[in-house]
Amino acid sequence: MENNQSFFERKFLLSHHKTDVKTEFMAGLTTFMTMSYILIVNPDLLSQTGMDKGGVFTATILASIIAMLLMGLYANMPFALSAGMGLNAFFTYTVCLGMGYEWSFALTAVFLEGIIFILLSFFNVREAIFTAIPHSLKKAVSVGIGLFIALIGFTSSGLIVANEATYLAMGDLLTKESFIAIVALFTMAILTAKQVRGALLYGIIISTVLALITGVTHFPGVASLFSLPPSIKDVAFHLEWDNIFTFDMFSVMFTFLFVDIFDTVGTLTGVATKADLIDEDGNLPGVSKALLSDAIGTICGALLGTSTITTFVESASGVADGGRTGLTSLSTAFFFFISLFLFPLFSIVPPQATAAALIMVGLFMMSPITEIDFSDYTESVPAFLTIAMMPFAYSIAEGISVGMISYVIMKVVTGRAKEVSVVMYILALVFLLRYLSPLVF
């Protein structure tokens, strides 16, 4: 044990970070409990594009493990990674179901985004883009994605349905399916309010048991709960390049990159602050290693068959439990590995349970709205359009495009053009050309 302890001490500098092996392991378990819902939600979302659900399940876990091994062994940071919420919704509902592209096109965009993420890191362009985007739009993107995800949750649960007269209307709340969704939602909400770690997971478990009792889903039998991981052959290495030089590919790829940059940088900063990893200058030592781990995870995910891999804000739960080093990330990866053999167990979860989790994630993403200055209309109008267009146009990309274009217009027309960065002018022009391209070409 002493040899093991000394190995972990040498590798992860445990005493320097005032932690130990047991604390790191338990922190990894806590992080896994709070983010394990992604193993249910991500395959469920991506399977709607025609992808094999079992293959996405395995690909998500493998890509997550690769990214967490890098984060733990290379970056030595307590961050967990998996398929990002919002990014998987954009993948499914905008690129595939909205724009009509095959899932292989979306995977290609994710792959290219990962490559560009790495290249931008080498030339410090990533920081330039991050700095150039105004504060109000950064916050608006998070809020808009939250509303978009919540809308998906409400519609997929049956609580909100299509209506010819009003477009959307309340669904039938007296069905078994609606009852399960409501129970799942309020279980998650109450447990979250009581600050119970793993609230979403517990809500999924309780509502799944209820679904089994009511016959909405069916138990496969104890002997069938464990199996070898589903094959990834139907989803892995299915990239296609036919439309690589089109505006749509650029728009899709840039949206993946844009959201990934802000998700990753924002999450790393927030969780690192909580873990007391920020230095006196306000920087995160070794952040480039963490970002590289994230980007490589995304590339591996695209090749294996899943959407963008990114750092999870749920890592904060493990940090709150004392996780301070890469050993926490490795511990989380260990529990992901065990999950590889539990696909039959995950597959019995009803869509109403995952829909409730989406609604709660939408809530979590709403908090930055308080940081938008609504008294300055050159800031609030573009922010509002960004937020509103995502759910109403059913597209994260449209929200970002309209937000950037309107920001430049508002600043220029009101005589505040100097407040707009050169990068913002370029991005707004590119997105404007995307809308004008049918007239030009």
More confident of the two residues 254 and 381: 381
pLDDT greater at residue 324 or residue 410: 410
pLDDT score of 257: 87
- Report the b/e string of 90-129 with b at 16+ CB within 10 A: bbbbbbbebeebbbbbbbbbbbbbbebbbebbeeeebeeb
Query: Is the pLDDT score of 205 beyond 60?
Result: yes
* Residues comprising the chain, all counted: 441
Q: Are 226 and 341 within 8 A, CB to CB?
A: yes
Task: Considering only residues 343 and 247, tell me which one the structure prediction assigns the higher pLDDT.
Answer: 343
Q: Which residues, including other chains, have CB under 8 Å from residue 384's CB and lie 6 or more apart?
A: 140
| Dist. CA 65–CA 55, nearest whole Å | 15
Q: Provide the 8-state DSSP code for 418.
A: G
- Taking only the tens place, the pLDDT of each residue in 82-105 is 998 889 988 999 899 988 999 999
For 234-248, the pLDDT digits (tens) are 999 999 888 888 888
- As a whole number of angstroms, the distance between CA 294 and CA 70 comes to 9
Confidence of residue 319 (pLDDT cuts 50, 70, 90): confident
- How high does pLDDT run on average in the chain? 87
State how far the alpha carbon of 255 is from the alpha carbons of 116, 235, 251, 383, 398, in Å.
12, 22, 6, 16, 9
pLDDT at 1: 44
